[in-house]
């Protein structure tokens, strides 16, 4: 086992040397930890990577990737040639781990997210699965300062998530210098113990101690375990051991270091196999068994209510569905799911990074998770959302209380930048239904969307205008009142669709024909429909949205038209001021995104020059 650890060091150094980059010293500190883990404790079957009874390894200190790749070589998951492709274009052995690589199930590298993901998996196992798997999260000591770690520490301890083991590689050196607590393991112990974790302190280079600790962790019930491993960064090589200033740098003389470590070895080990039961069968019966709720045209319903009711309706026919809440489920309406199956409703309290990290963990365990909060508070998890996309993990967020229309609670509660942030996420679906019937179809659609989706819903009621049988889908849009003689088009989404339709009525009273395009799919935008509408009115377009002027629907329309070369003269109504407290209608009037402002903007366009 000692030899295996040295081999991992050597191979991590070789990989980094070949790449001319990487973090070998961060790998060297954790060599015994990972060697013992893969050889003795991590129950995985390389031939059946999705076996539900498998254990999980999350390399939360993702920059130690060369160590992981060295371990993959040792267990025969990759060959030597591949090891030396580390960080090369096209190699799956990236600078920081990404799924597609053996054992890697979550993208890491943004520090602090691994434990939240692991906590999500452990929550799923604890309540919904016959427990046999364990989750091993290898953390750096530096990242313990991250709030995302601390949120997970609090949750895992309080929820007694005993499937979870955190292994902390306490090498005392961060990137710029010593970590806050250095080798003061007592300080770290006190913290974890306060959060009700079992704490094991060990010398992280003593393979027996490591082995014993991992066995103890496996046997611990009713508490998560943290193994605080005192280690030496750059361990094994005199010139790198415990030296500052070497973070993220390949070794100056790799050959000398490899010689000092005893040279290249070719030890191969086989991890223990998964054992035990499989999770309950939760295959979805598909869309046959289900019926979506629907609302008659003309009724006033909040889209948040529609989403809540639809999840309730889907809950029975989709046993794979779970819902996560951050103590606002009464507002987002996701709490209604509790009545379907309290076991599949998870309260993570006011901790949005944990909310999203846990949702990723549920996804990895094969659950279809929907997580929700106020849209603006989900910004707290922006970095983890981004990392979900890096990993290609499905992630479904519902953000309520969109825009200034929430009313007198004021700007702290308003989602005004949420579309801008989330639209930039790779592969995202950004959806904003304008009525209940759209909301019902769209929340069902995101359940099968393969990447990140963000469903933005409203606090207040809007008028149901979409007939029940009208198909609403990701990438679609809905045209309202189009005629060949239209002089102006109003493109809106969510709450502003009602305003746009009212504005079109006002325009009609002026003798002006206007069409409304309900762009409920902000991304992918229905470019064809937008371009057709823009061309039909010779470029005279009002875009009206309850969002900041940057990065939202107006941007999406402008980008698409610029790229298509479709002439447009856009009046862009968006929230350009800092709102205060006021009623919803007053908010929209103050921001200039109500029917009156839309009407006025359209008039100016019709009376002004045309770009075409």
Q: Between residue 47 and residue 106, which ones bind its own copies under the rule CB under 8 A?
A: 62, 86-91, 93-96, 98
Figure out which of the listed residues 386, 401, 465, 478 binds its own copies, where binding follows CB under 8 A. 386
In angstroms, rounded to a whole number, what is the distance separating the alpha carbons of residues 62 and 94?
Answer: 10
Find the helix or strand (DSSP H, E) in which 348 lies.
Answer: none
480, 516 Cβ separation under 8 angstroms: yes
Candidates 235-243, 373-381, 395-403, 508-516: pick the segment binding its own copies (CB under 8 A).
Answer: 373-381
Percent of the chain as helix, strand, coil, to the nearest 5: 40, 15, 45
Region 160-199 residues binding its own copies, contact defined as CB under 8 A: 174-177, 179-181, 190-191, 193-195
Region 536-555 residues binding its own copies, contact defined as CB under 8 A: 539, 541, 547-552, 554-555
Region 509-528 residues binding its own copies, contact defined as CB under 8 A: 523
Figure out which of the listed residues 30, 421, 443, 457 binds its own copies, where binding follows CB under 8 A. 421
Figure out which of the listed residues 46, 426, 483, 510 binds its own copies, where binding follows CB under 8 A. 426
145, 153 Cβ separation under 8 angstroms: no
567 DSSP assignment: -
Burial of 463 (0-12, 13-18, 19+ CB in 10 A): middle
Q: Which residue has the tokens 């006002």?
A: 506
Candidates 51-59, 68-76, 287-295, 328-336: pick the segment binding its own copies (CB under 8 A).
Answer: 328-336
**Cβ 28 to its own copies shortest distance, Å:** 19
In angstroms, rounded to a whole number, what is the distance separating the alpha carbons of residues 237 and 221?
Answer: 38
Region 252-281 residues binding its own copies, contact defined as CB under 8 A: none
Give the CA radius of gyration of the chain.
27
In angstroms, rounded to a whole number, what is the distance separating the alpha carbons of residues 535 and 521?
Answer: 20
Number of residues that bind its own copies (CB under 8 A): 121
Q: Which residue has the tokens 């409203």?
A: 458
* CB closer to its own copies out of 43 and 87: 87
163 DSSP assignment: T
Torsion of CA 357, 395, 530, 608, to 10 degrees: -20
Region 139-158 residues binding its own copies, contact defined as CB under 8 A: 142-143, 145-151, 154-155, 158
* CB closer to its own copies out of 21 and 267: 21
Region 200-259 residues binding its own copies, contact defined as CB under 8 A: none
201, 24 Cβ separation under 8 angstroms: no
| Cis-peptide into 414, omega within 30 deg | no
**Cβ 123 to its own copies shortest distance, Å:** 14
**Cβ 185 to its own copies shortest distance, Å:** 13
Candidates 221-229, 463-471, 479-487, 575-583: pick the segment binding its own copies (CB under 8 A).
Answer: 575-583
What three-state secondary structure class fits 165? strand
Find the helix or strand (DSSP H, E) in which 90 lies.
Answer: none
Residues 6+ apart with CB under 8 A from 13: 24, 28, 66, 237, 250, 251, 254, 257, 258, 261
240, 256 Cβ separation under 8 angstroms: no
Figure out which of the listed residues 41, 478, 572, 588 binds its own copies, where binding follows CB under 8 A. 572
- Does 468 engage in binding with its own copies (CB under 8 A)? no
Q: What is the 3-state secondary structure (H, E, C) of 432-495?
A: CCCCHHHHHHHHHHHHCCCCEEEEECCCCEEECCCCCCCCCCCCCCEEECCCCCCCEEEEECCH
* CB closer to its own copies out of 6 and 331: 331
**Cβ 611 to its own copies shortest distance, Å:** 5
* CB closer to its own copies out of 272 and 411: 411
**Cβ 267 to its own copies shortest distance, Å:** 27
Residues 6+ apart with CB under 8 A from 609: 569
What three-state secondary structure class fits 239? coil
Q: Which of 159, 309, 352, 499 is catalytic?
A: 352
- Does 354 engage in binding with its own copies (CB under 8 A)? yes
352 is catalytic: yes
* CB closer to its own copies out of 279 and 415: 415
* CB closer to its own copies out of 148 and 303: 148
519, 552 Cβ separation under 8 angstroms: no
* CB closer to its own copies out of 252 and 562: 562
Figure out which of the listed residues 212, 243, 347, 604 binds its own copies, where binding follows CB under 8 A. 347
**Cβ 279 to its own copies shortest distance, Å:** 27
CA distances (Å), 64 to each of 12, 59, 88, in order? 9, 8, 16
Figure out which of the listed residues 102, 411, 475, 592 binds its own copies, where binding follows CB under 8 A. 411
Figure out which of the listed residues 110, 165, 310, 434 binds its own copies, where binding follows CB under 8 A. 110
Helix and strand totals (H; E) in the chain: 22, 19
Region 580-609 residues binding its own copies, contact defined as CB under 8 A: 580-583, 586, 590, 609
* CB closer to its own copies out of 4 and 67: 67
* CB closer to its own copies out of 100 and 286: 100
- Does 611 engage in binding with its own copies (CB under 8 A)? yes
* CB closer to its own copies out of 12 and 39: 12
- Does 339 engage in binding with its own copies (CB under 8 A)? no
Figure out which of the listed residues 210, 254, 402, 425 binds its own copies, where binding follows CB under 8 A. 425
Active site residues: 352
């Amino acid at each position: 086992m000692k030899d295996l650890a040295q081999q991992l060091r050597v191979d991590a150094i070789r990989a980094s040397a070949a790449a001319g980059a990487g973090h070998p010293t961060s790998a060297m500190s954790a060599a015994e930890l990972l060697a013992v883990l893969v050889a003795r404790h991590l129950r995985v079957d390389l031939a059946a990577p999705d076996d539900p009874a498998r254990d999980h390894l999350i390399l939360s200190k993702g920059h130690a990737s060369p160590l992981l790749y060295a371990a993959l070589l040792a267990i025969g998951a990759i060959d030597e040639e591949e090891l030396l492709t580390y960080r090369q274009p096209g190699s799956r052995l990236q600078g920081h781990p990404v799924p597609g690589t053996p054992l890697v199930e979550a993208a890491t590298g943004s520090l602090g997210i691994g434990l939240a993901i692991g906590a999500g998996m452990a929550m799923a196992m604890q309540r919904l699965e016959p427990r046999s798997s364990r989750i091993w999260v290898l953390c750096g000591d530096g990242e313990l300062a991250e709030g995302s770690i601390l949120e997970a520490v609090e949750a895992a301890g309080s929820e007694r998530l005993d499937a979870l083991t955190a292994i902390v590689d306490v090498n005392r050196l961060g990137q710029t210098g010593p970590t806050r607590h250095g080798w003061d393991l007592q300080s770290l112990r006190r913290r974890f113990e306060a959060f009700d974790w079992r704490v094991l302190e060990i010398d992280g280079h003593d393979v027996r101690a490591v082995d014993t600790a991992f066995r103890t962790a496996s046997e611990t019930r009713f508490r998560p375990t943290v193994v605080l491993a005192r280690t030496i960064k750059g361990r094994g090589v005199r010139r790198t051991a415990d030296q500052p200033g070497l973070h993220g740098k390949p070794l100056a003389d790799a050959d000398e270091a490899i010689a000092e470590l005893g040279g290249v070895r070719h030890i191969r080990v086989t991890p223990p196999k998964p054992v035990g039961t499989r999770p309950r069968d939760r295959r979805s019966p598909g869309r046959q068994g289900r019926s979506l709720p629907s609302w008659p045209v003309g009724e006033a319903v909040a889209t948040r209510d529609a989403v809540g009711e639809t999840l309730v309706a889907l809950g029975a026919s989709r046993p794979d569905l779970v819902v996560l809440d951050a103590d606002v489920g009464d507002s987002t309406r996701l709490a209604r799911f509790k009545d379907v199956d309290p076991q599949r409703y998870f309260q993570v309290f006011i901790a949005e990074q944990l909310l999203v990290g846990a949702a990723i963990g549920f996804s990895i365990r094969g659950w279809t998770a929907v997580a929700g909060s106020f849209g603006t508070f989900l910004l707290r998890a922006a970095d983890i959302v981004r990392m979900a996309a890096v990993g290609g993990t499905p992630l479904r967020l519902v953000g309520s209380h969109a825009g200034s229309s929430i009313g007198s609670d004021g700007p702290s509660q308003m989602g005004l930048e949420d579309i801008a942030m989330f639209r930039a996420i790779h592969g995202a679906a950004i959806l904003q239904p304008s009525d209940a019937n759209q909301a019902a179809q769209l929340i069902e659609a995101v359940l099968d969307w393969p990447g990140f989706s963000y469903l933005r819903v409203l606090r207040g009621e809007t008028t149901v205008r979409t007939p029940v049988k009208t198909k609403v889908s990701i990438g679609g849009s809905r045209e309202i009142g189009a005629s060949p003689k239209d002089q102006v088009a109003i493109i809106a989404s969510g709450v502003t669709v009602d305003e746009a339709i009212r504005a079109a009525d006002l325009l009609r009273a002026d003798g002006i024909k206007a069409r409304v395009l309900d762009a409920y799919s902000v991304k992918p935008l229905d470019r064809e429909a937008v371009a057709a509408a823009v061309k039909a009115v010779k470029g005279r377009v009002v875009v009206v949205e309850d969002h900041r002027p940057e990065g939202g629907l107006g941007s999406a329309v402008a980008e698409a038209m610029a790229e298509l070369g479709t002439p447009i003269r856009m009046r862009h109504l968006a929230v350009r001021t800092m709102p205060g407290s006021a009623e919803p209608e007053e908010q929209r009037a103050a921001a200039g995104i109500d029917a009156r402002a839309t009407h006025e903007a359209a008039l100016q366009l019709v009376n002004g020059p045309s770009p075409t």
